[in-house]
Amino acid sequence: MKPIVIYKSKTGFTEKYGQWIAEELRCKSLPLKKAKQENLQDYNLIIYGGGIYAGIIVGLKEMKKLLSALPNKNLVVYCTGATPLEMTEKIAEVKKVNLKDYERSNIPFYYFLSGLNYERMGFFSRIIMKLMSSQLEKELNQSGTENSKVPEKSFDLSDRKYIEPLVRYVKWLTHHSHISYIIYTSIIIHVTRIYEIC
Ligand SMILES: Cc1cc2nc3c(=O)[nH]c(=O)nc-3n(C[C@H](O)[C@H](O)[C@H](O)COP(=O)(O)O)c2cc1C
């Protein structure tokens, strides 16, 4: 199993998580726009990451389209957002909106807490953020989150520890496929020998 991390990041959080994952898995990471020039045939596991903007994981549709032309690729999705981890229903909703029914049972999905970076946000993102603030505060209040105010300054709650379950899963998958490969090749060798003897 040869993995690659591909991401689309507007303000840097998803990119940072992508680099942490690539370091742990000792694999390549690159932005989605460069992935089009990369030979994705060389990889059989694509780990795609995108920031959540108004519930949508950026670039995921584009990534899925790119992969539809390439058979036998495993996809793992991670997304980063400012939704507190205790708002599990909201996170489940992101999964439901971004992955179709059959994809939800086949594509491993991970949510990583990040923050907000007003300095790197575009003009429209700042306006949308302002418009969304009162609705967000209402939801934070309802979920019983300690601080239900949407911060007006940048904050960063991202932490390398959040990638552990994803890294563990990919390492397990790699190990598993390696063992399957050894079993498969030893069966082939044995069958060939029996055939030669006969
Ligand atoms: C306009 C806007 C909308 C956002 N919508 C959501 C959202 O629906 N859910 C969420 O958890 N975070 C939301 N966020 C926070 C971003 O998902 C978070 O900052 C993310 O890590 C950004 O990823 P990036 O830096 O890789 O682009 C929003 C941020 C902005 C600026």
pLDDT tens for each residue of the chain, 198 residues long: 899 999 999 999 999 999 999 999 999 999 999 998 899 999 999 999 999 999 999 999 999 999 998 888 899 999 999 999 999 999 999 999 999 999 999 999 999 999 999 999 999 999 999 888 888 888 888 877 777 888 899 999 999 999 999 999 999 998 877 667 667 667 766 777 777 777
- Residue 78 C-alpha to ligand 1 middle, in angstroms? 13
- Residue 172 C-alpha to ligand 1 middle, in angstroms? 30
pLDDT of 172 reads 95
Q: Is 53 in the pocket of ligand 1 (CB under 6 A)?
A: yes
pLDDT of 36 reads 85
**What is the spatial distance between Cα 118 and Cα 151, in angstroms, rounded to a whole number?**
10
- Do residues 83 and 91 touch, judged by C-beta distance below 8 A? yes
Distances (CA, A) of 101 to 96, 104, 169, 180: 8, 5, 22, 29
- Tally of helices (H runs) and strands (E runs) in the chain: 7, 8
pTM of the model: 0.90
Q: Which own/partner contact pairs does 85-93 have at CB distance under 8 Å and 24+ positions apart?
A: 85/111, 85/113, 86/143, 86/144, 86/145, 87/139, 87/140, 87/143, 87/145, 90/139, 90/143, 93/55
Q: What is the pLDDT of residues 120-159, one digit of tens each?
A: 999 999 999 988 888 888 888 887 777 788 889 999 999 9
pLDDT of 185 reads 67
Domains observed in the chain: 3-197 (3.40.50)
Beta bridge partners of 98: none
The protein residue with its alpha carbon nearest to ligand 1, atom 10, reads: 81
**Which of 10, 15, 87, 116 to probe ligand 1 with, by most ligand atoms within 8 A of CB?**
116
The protein residue with its alpha carbon nearest to ligand 1, atom 31, reads: 125
